[in-house]
Amino acid sequence: MRIPCPLCGDRDHREFTYKGAAVALDRPGNSDWSDDWDSYIHLRDNPAGDTDEMWWHGAGCGGWLVVTRNTVTHEVKAARMAADVKGAGA
């Protein structure tokens, strides 16, 4: 699998570490426990198809990426810097 890092270009997936669904970006705004927190920490979809997920380019630029990947074909469709996605109000 290859991941097109926005900073480093097309790189082998072994340079990256997987974290999980990009739901991780949507941290609830307050620190009181709630169902939102429960969903944020524990509940994940298991899609057959396109999904956004977090990958860390630890053996490269150190960037956290949001990678759009198809779980059926493994096709990597896009990779954006997590900071940009978060900054755009994801």
- Residue numbers of the site for other proteins (CB under 8 A)? 1-2, 12, 17, 19, 24-25, 27-28, 30-34, 37, 40-41, 54, 56, 58, 62-64, 73-76, 81-84, 86-87
- Rank residues 31 and 46 by Cβ distance to other proteins and give the closer one: 31
For residue 65, the cross-strand partners are 55, 81
Question: Which residues have C-beta within 8 Å of that of residue 8, sequence separation ≥ 6?
Answer: 57, 60, 61, 63
* Tokens 């900071």 belong to residue: 83
- Rank residues 45 and 74 by Cβ distance to other proteins and give the closer one: 74
Instruction: Give least dist CB 45 to other proteins, A.
Output: 18
